[in-house]
Structure 1
Amino acid sequence: MSKLISELLPVIGHTVVIYLFLMIALRVAGRHQIGQLSVIDLVVLILLGSAVETAMVNGDTSLAAGIACSGTLLILNRLFTWLIQRVRPLNRELNGDPITLISDGRFVEENLRRAGLTHEDVLQALRARGLADVSEARFAVMEVNGSITVIPRHAKVHRSSRTTKEAT
């Protein structure tokens, strides 16, 4: 039994390192790639899985190594989800903030560059919501999940006079 555990420890260690590397690498890649997968993005994600599989299991293709690797990934995912929900700065660092892409009918060029989007990407989101031109949008915001929310210029904006206190 201890021989099995000692053989699986490298699998668990490699899995942890690769998980952390991919978390950081995908965060650096940006929300656009994750939130709106193109065919190329999907191929890259599939190939990433294949490319790191051998390294995670340390060349061991046994059932035990596969279970150790899968179990480690599930535990790490649950741990990071728990941490992100409870540690606000970590949540903000990993998930980011919404990014304003259009403000008062004009593109916010700096934010488009930061989000890795083109005018055409945003215009596609506008057309999907029935707007023909950027001037018809009051705001367009890239949400933390990569989706684009559009507020038409003619939409009524409801403001609350009540302030809410953030939980600490």
Structure 2
Amino acid sequence: MFELSGTWWEIPVRATLVYIVLLVLMRVSGHRTVGQFTPFDLLIVMLLSEAVSNGLNGEEKSLTGGLVSAATLIGLNLFVAFITARNHRMQVLVEGRAVLIGRDGKVFEDVIKRHHVPLCDVERALREADCDLTDMRFAFLEADGQISILQESGSPVEK
């Protein structure tokens, strides 16, 4: 139950590779993937975890192997958080930056389509900000997937 069937270092190497690939895939998939989970998105995340589980541990079935994988993933997550908190370039690389999706009452439909944002989400953010389209100064798709509205009066409201 506790004895590893392979070499100890293979598990952290596997976990690191899986972490990096999934981080890149999540980053490439866009802002909305991370920001708001639909039932479909949740299903994808669950299936991703199942798909990579064998890649994390190989043929390792011991409790120790699972704990080494978990500790490696948590350690990598803490490392990425540490680096992104101290280095702006790494933060932008890992988390992305806000994207302007509207200005002066006009929503940029080509931009919201490219970032997979339904127009109804922008309209909802406007309603939640108690802002008419004509009063919108700026609309941003934040790096976390939220939509922020800046009204003519200058008060930011985030959805």
After TM superposition, the score normalised by the length of structure 2 is 0.86
Report what 1:45 is aligned to. 45
Structure 2 Cα separation of the partners of residues 50 and 60 of structure 1: 15
How many residues are treated as equivalent by the alignment? 154
In structure 2, list runs of 5 or more residues that go unmatched.
none
Contact 2:96/2:143 (CA < 8 Å) preserved in 1?
Answer: yes
Letter in 1 for 2:135: E
1:22 aligns with 22
What do you get for the CA RMSD once the two structures are aligned?
2.2
Q: What residue number does 2:142 align with?
A: 143
Instruction: Tell me, in whole angstroms, the C-alpha distance in 2 between the residues paired with 1:134 and 1:46.
Output: 37
Are the aligned partners of 1:99 and 1:115 in contact in 2 as well (CA < 8 Å)?
no
Query: Within 5 Å, which residues of 2 pair with 1:16-165?
Result: 16-131=16-131, 133-153=132-152, 155-156=153-154
Could you list the structure 1 runs, at least 4 aligned residues long, displaced by more than 4 angstroms after superposition: 3-6
Q: Distance in 2 between matches of 1:63 and 1:45?
A: 23
Identity rate, percent: 25
Moved more, 3-12 or 20-29: 3-12
Shift of 1:111: 2.8
Counterparts in 2 of 1:96 and 1:10: CA distance versus 1, 3 Å: same
Q: Are the structure 2 counterparts of residues 46 and 157 from structure 1 closer, same or farther at C-alpha, using a change threshold of 3 Å?
A: closer
- Decide whether the 8 Å contact of 1:11 with 1:56 is kept in 2: yes
CA distance in 2, matches of 1:76, 1:27: 16
Does 1 or 2 have the higher relative contact order (CA < 8 Å, sep 6+)?
A: 2
The one-letter amino acid of 2:143's match is V
31-40 vs 84-93, which moves further:
84-93
Task: Give 1:129 deviation, angstroms.
Answer: 2.7
Q: Confirm or deny: 8 A CA contact 2:4 2:60 kept in the other structure.
A: no
Equivalent residue letter for 1:104: D
- 3-state DSSP of counterpart to 2:148: strand
Q: In 2 relative to 1, CA 157–62 (structure 1 residues): closer, same or farther, beyond 3 Å?
A: closer
- What is the CA–CA distance in structure 2 between the aligned matches of 1:86 and 1:141, rounded to whole Å? 24
Q: TM-score, normalised by structure 1?
A: 0.81
**Residues in 2 aligned to 1:10 and 1:76: alpha-carbon distance in whole angstroms:** 15
TM-aligned CA deviation for residue 71 of structure 1: 0.7
Query: 1:151 Cα shift?
Result: 2.1
